[in-house]
Amino acid sequence: MTDITIQDGEFARLSGKVVIITGGSSGIGLATTNLLLDLGAKVIIGDLQPPVTPIHNPSLTFQRTDVTSWSEQLALFKKAREIHGRVDHVFANAGVGPRADYLSKTVDANGDLVEPTFVTIDVNLKAVIYTATIAVYYMREEQQTPAGGSIVVVSSVAGISRFRATDYATAKHGNLGFARGLHQRLNFHELPIRVNLIAPSWTKTGFMPYPVMQSIGVEPQEPIVVAKSAAFLMADESRKGQMIHISKGRYREVEESIMLPAAEKVVGVEHGEVMEDDTLAKIIEAMGVFKKGAVAS
């Protein structure tokens, strides 16, 4: 894995940038909000609740937003443009813990198995797709400079490993799949919009009661450690389609250094096979329907 050293000086170019943060009122989102405000960025939080620690800074806007609502997310982006005229970076961070039990035996009045809840998948995956889709639309409309805009999606170690909280793991794997697919599409259409992921390990936030973590001997990392990885991916214009794993303050890039090489190994690229996406590109070309720009314009 490729270790990354994040120096505070690397964030300087975020000064004056307009950043939308979903779930920016607590934990990782709040730490990112504070970090960006300190750097001179303008932040618009979309969250169900105002910041759990009040922030008095004219560069901060809070808009009550339920990310599972398409219209509320549209309103969030509209608000950002109304106030600041553009959107430079988007942090798709709002999330909830596991809710569904796929081994449930709960039945309704008719004795039929009760449908499992989709809350976690709606907040952690569907709403992230909403956020990124609106972000791409806005950033394209704004005719970004070649530096373009960026989207950072919060996945998790649960998105790259076996994890028994099944709905949560499904959503976090989905974040990875979505960001990978979107990265390929953005590249194909040569749009100056970067999409990257972060995969934090246990972090001290509203997610898990800290005393419980302590009681089992796990010391979670501070949310500012994770916030720095998000700011880094926004600031470093060379980062595209990457995923940073953050554990105990150590930052490692995993998509290009481990996951893609692993996929290539499975496919057998070293024996002359081609990756599925390369074949898809040829199919698209051969069909002649999806010319560059045609599907996305």
Ligand X SMILES: NC(=O)c1ccc[n+]([C@@H]2O[C@H](COP(=O)([O-])OP(=O)(O)OC[C@H]3O[C@@H](n4cnc5c(N)ncnc54)[C@H](O)[C@@H]3O)[C@@H](O)[C@H]2O)c1
- Chain contacts with ligand X (rule: CB under 6 A): 22-23, 25-29, 47-49, 65-68, 93-96, 123-124, 154, 156, 200, 202-203, 205-207
189 touches 9 (CB < 8 A) = no
Residue 18 sits at φ, ψ, to 5 deg, of: -100, 120
Could you give the CA distance from residue 169 to residue 97 in angstroms, rounded to a whole number? 10
Rounded to a whole number of angstroms, the minimum distance from the CB of residue 223 to ligand X is 6
Of the pair 148, 200, the CB lying nearest ligand X is at 200
Main-chain dihedrals φ then ψ at residue 106, nearest 5 degrees: -65, 130
Closest contact distance (angstroms) between CB of 226 and ligand X is: 7
Alpha carbons 11 and 26: distance in angstroms, whole number: 21
CB of 26 to ligand X, least distance (A): 3
The token pair that represents 38 in the structure block: 């300190």
Please, which residue, 14 or 28, has the CB nearer to ligand X? 28
Nearest residue (CB) to ligand X, 186 versus 230: 230
Outline where 42-118 has alpha helix (H): 70-84
Q: Annotated active-site positions, please?
A: 155, 168, 172
Minimum distance of ligand X from residue 9's CB (angstroms)? 26
- CB 198 to ligand X: min, Å: 8
Measure the CA–CA gap between 182 and 240, rounded to whole angstroms.
11
Which of 39, 25, 23, 183 has the alpha carbon at shortest distance from 90? 23
Nearer to ligand X, 140 or 230 (CB): 230
Rg (CA), the chain: 20
Q: Return the number of the residue (128 or 140) whose C-beta is nearest ligand X.
A: 128
Structure tokens at 35: 């970090």
Tokens of 15: 């000064």
